[in-house]
């Protein structure tokens, strides 16, 4: 058999994406349902981190305080990672709580924390003001600390191999809810609660890298995600003073939003979750492929590179007998090389099985062959590690279970 590109398809077992143990939501025409719009729920409380510096001043004045207090509050939040009035001794005692709670309401209540044996990976389960649950994962690597953040409670993209997708979209997160995950992680690090630090390392530490690979499709919550990104890169104390290069925005491939992101002039790292180089399979594996096809998504990724000069990542979860065939590696290399050289690298990741999933990760020999073929074709390819797997904190495993919901209901409201 030959594909439309003329690549010879070796006969091999072809497992098709189908769901077992859970049922995928379908639309009126029987296709996997896609949810782009956030269901209407009560708005999260507004927070200093939702505002621009000018808006913060206006809000402080509205509450009857002098405008310069805004900068003091931002300094506490973005450089000392605190929103506790007790820590803010530079603010007059009278009215302090009113001011602080007025601008920094509680956004995330910690429900549960799971750590790996070494303690160098921590998964947090957070409850939002309305009871919605989200997770973030903090990981120490040599020379960097990465936080995997959520951008939505749930996800509307319905990818059958991803645990988050199975429950659908609860709602978009606000910019401040996204940023609060980083501030809370920085507080945990400052308190010495993230393990794996070398004894002789006395450097001040904080989150250096952010990946939008937690729950949600970041580009389906575009404006709030962009406000969060802009605040991450704004210099302290206006923002977190992070480097844009250390921030990775990962998407299923919402093409118009990819173009918009490229025009923002913020050189974040861009990752496309491709997972299949052919529409036949990708239509089923990534339901949004019914809107934007493989070639359109790859063209948008290439344009992202041209505008930003930032090398793009292609994410590829290797699923046994489904998308791990040698001919697919060749077809992927061919499609990437057709769009130029040196603009892209591929990040295969062994599938992390999710509850109810009947699929497994590819055999190591098959993974290695997949990588070898891409590398031989001149595409830099490195397998991504599956950190946090033992605490269900690896890619695609983030989900709020019924247990979590019970725990969240029992957790005290701070
Ligand atoms: N919605 C965005 C970001 C969230 S998922 C996106 O799809 O890119 C982050 C990455 O984890 C994506 O590449 C996603 O395809 C991948 N992923 C999802 N489920 C997975 C699983 N079970 N095993 C391995 N990777 C998975």
Q: Is the model's pLDDT at 388 over the cut of 80?
A: no
Distance (Å) from CA 170 to ligand 1 centroid? 18
Rounded distance between C-alpha atoms, residue 243 and residue 232, angstroms = 8
Annotated active-site residue 135? The verdict is yes
Distance (Å) from CA 56 to ligand 1 centroid? 35
Least confident of 41-45, 57-61, 330-334: 41-45
* pLDDT the model gives residue 197: 84
133, burial (CB in 10 Å: exposed 0-12, middle 13-18, buried 19+): buried
* Residue at token pair 């790996």: 116
Enter the pTM of the model: 0.93
Do residues 212 and 268 make contact, with C-beta atoms less than 8 angstroms apart? no
Do residues 313 and 336 make contact, with C-beta atoms less than 8 angstroms apart? no
pLDDT tens string 96-123: 999 999 999 999 999 999 998 889 999 9
Rounded distance between C-alpha atoms, residue 15 and residue 359, angstroms = 9
| Cβ of residue 270 lying under 6 Å from some atom of ligand 1 | no
SS3 at position 341: coil
Helix pair 96-103, 69-79: axis angle to 10 deg? 60
Span 346-352, average pLDDT: 94
Q: Which long-range contacts (CB under 8 A, 24 or more apart) does 410-413 make?
A: 411/109, 411/110, 411/111, 411/127, 412/109, 413/109
Which atom, in ligand 1's list, is nearest to the CA of 215?
4
Rounded distance between C-alpha atoms, residue 109 and residue 176, angstroms = 14
Query: Of 62, 135, 264, 409, which residue is the catalytic one?
Result: 135
pLDDT tens string 354-367: 776 778 999 999 99
| Cβ of residue 273 lying under 6 Å from some atom of ligand 1 | yes
Which atom, in ligand 1's list, is nearest to the CA of 361?
23
Considering the chain, what is the average pLDDT of its residues?
Answer: 91
Span 336-354, average pLDDT: 95
10, burial (CB in 10 Å: exposed 0-12, middle 13-18, buried 19+): exposed
Span 38-51, average pLDDT: 91
Q: What is the DSSP string of 251-286?
A: ES--HHHHHHHHTT----EEEEE---SSHHHHHHHS
Residue 241's H or E segment, with its range, is none
Name which residue sits closest to atom 6 of ligand 1, judged by CA. Answer: 251
Ligand 1 pocket mutation, candidates 150, 162, 172, 316, criterion most atoms within 8 A of CB: 162
| Cβ of residue 317 lying under 6 Å from some atom of ligand 1 | yes
Task: Domains for the chain: give ranges and CATH numbers.
Answer: 3-45+106-410 (3.20.20.70), 48-103 (1.10.150)
Distance (Å) from CA 395 to ligand 1 centroid? 5
Assign residue 293 a region: left if phi > 0, alpha if psi is -120 to 50, beta otherwise? beta
Ligand 1 pocket mutation, candidates 273, 286, 346, criterion most atoms within 8 A of CB: 273
pLDDT tens string 308-335: 999 999 999 999 999 999 999 999 999 9
Which atom, in ligand 1's list, is nearest to the CA of 271?
8
pLDDT tens string 246-266: 999 999 999 999 999 999 999
Q: Which residues contact 299 (CB under 8 A, 6 or more apart)?
A: 339
Annotated active-site residue 395? The verdict is yes
Name which residue sits closest to atom 11 of ligand 1, judged by CA. Answer: 395
Span 376-397, average pLDDT: 82
| Cβ of residue 221 lying under 6 Å from some atom of ligand 1 | no
Rounded distance between C-alpha atoms, residue 88 and residue 80, angstroms = 10
* pLDDT the model gives residue 20: 62
């Amino acid at each position: 058999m030959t594909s439309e590109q003329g690549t010879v398809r070796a006969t091999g077992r072809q497992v098709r994406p189908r769901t077992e143990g859970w049922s995928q939501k379908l639309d009126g025409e029987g296709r996997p349902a896609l949810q782009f719009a956030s269901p209407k729920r009560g708005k999260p409380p507004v927070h200093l981190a939702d505002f621009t510096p000018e808006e913060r001043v206006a809000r402080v004045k509205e509450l009857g305080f002098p405008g310069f207090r805004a900068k003091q509050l931002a300094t506490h939040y973005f450089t000392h990672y605190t929103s506790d009035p007790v820590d803010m001794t530079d603010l007059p005692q009278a009215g302090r709580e009113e001011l602080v709670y007025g601008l920094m309401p509680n956004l995330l209540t910690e429900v549960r924390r799971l750590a790996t044996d070494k303690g160098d990976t921590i998964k947090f389960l957070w409850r939002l003001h309305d009871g919605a649950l989200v997770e973030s994962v903090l990981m120490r690597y040599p020379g960097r600390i990465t936080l995997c953040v959520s951008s939505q409670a749930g996800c509307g993209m319905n990818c059958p191999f991803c645990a988050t997708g199975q429950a659908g979209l609860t709602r978009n997160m606000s910019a401040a809810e996204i940023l609060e995950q980083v501030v809370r992680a920085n507080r945990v690090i400052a308190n010495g609660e993230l393990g794996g630090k070398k004894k002789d390392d006395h450097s001040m530490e904080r989150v250096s890298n952010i990946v939008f690979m937690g729950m949600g499709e970041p580009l389906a919550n575009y404006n709030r995600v962009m406000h969060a990104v802009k605040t991450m890169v704004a210099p302290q104390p206006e923002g977190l003073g992070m480097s844009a290069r250390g921030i990775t925005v990962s998407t299923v491939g919402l093409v118009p939003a990819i173009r918009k992101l490229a025009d923002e002039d913020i050189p974040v790292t861009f990752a496309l979750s491709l997972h299949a180089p052919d529409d036949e399979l990708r239509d089923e594996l990534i339901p949004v492929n019914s809107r934007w096809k493989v070639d359109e998504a790859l063209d948008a990724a290439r344009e992202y590179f041209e505008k930003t000069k930032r090398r793009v990542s292609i994410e590829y979860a290797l699923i046994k007998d489904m998308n791990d065939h040698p001919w697919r590696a060749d077809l992927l290399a061919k499609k990437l090389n057709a769009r130029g050289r040196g603009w892209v690298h591929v990040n295969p990741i062994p599938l992390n099985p999710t509850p109810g999933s009947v699929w497994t990760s590819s055999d190591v020999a098959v993974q290695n062959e997949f990588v070898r073929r891409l590398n031989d074709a001149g595409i830099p390819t490195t397998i991504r590690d599956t950190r946090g797997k033992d605490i269900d904190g690896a890619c695609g495993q983030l989900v709020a279970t019924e247990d979590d919901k019970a725990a969240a209901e029992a957790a005290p409201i701070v």
